[in-house]
Amino acid sequence: MRVQVQDLLQRVRATGTCDNADVELLARNGCLRDEVYRTLLADPQPQDCPLLCSLLDYEIEEHELHDALSDNMVICAYLLAIQRRVKDAPRLWAAKMANFSTFLGLSTVLLVAGGIDETIAYWEKEKGWFVRRPAASVLSVIKQARAKGNLEDLGGRLAEIRTYCEKSLNSRIT
């Protein structure tokens, strides 16, 4: 399985793309997906973004079908957030908005991992971004979290989420 994971990551990192077959393979094979997540937690690379975006899109679609929050959603959102790309803010917001449980369970810290001020500036430019998840709602959530002090020590809060992800993956080892 280690070879399969390394081959998949090497191909994604080399080409900068991820196809649906990769996502379907990982969705069907939880052990393989867990190994990919472990590898990405240990050595995140900017070239992982296409795979992470595709996996998070898959998780969003799955979570829109029911009201729950899976560890896979948390792990995938965290892995994308630590890339610290503000342009991923809409995808991370879509993950948070997938259902009631994801809204409550996914930390707002993940939305602003690319920088609080940078993320606010991004959303202020994107007002009315799209009807289902308007920018005003995102800004409201971020600004409320900031006012409550929930976004202080961003690095420490991301480290807590990482620890949660690691514990979740470690509990799955058979």
pLDDT at residue 174, as a whole number: 59
pLDDT at residue 152, as a whole number: 92
Report the 10 Å Cβ neighbour count for 142. Answer: 21
pLDDT at residue 135, as a whole number: 65
What sign does the CA torsion over 37, 42, 48, 49 have? positive
- Regions of the chain with pLDDT less than 70: 1, 127-135, 174
Buried/exposed 57-67: b ≥16 CB within 10 Å, e otherwise: ebbbebbeeee
Closest CA to 43 of 82, 2, 86: 82
Q: What is the pTM of this model?
A: 0.92
Please state, in angstroms and rounded to a whole number, the distance separating the CA atoms of residues 37 and 59: 14
Please state, in angstroms and rounded to a whole number, the distance separating the CA atoms of residues 137 and 116: 15
Indicate the helix (H) or strand (E) that contains 69: none
pLDDT at residue 173, as a whole number: 77
The token duo for 106 is 């996914």
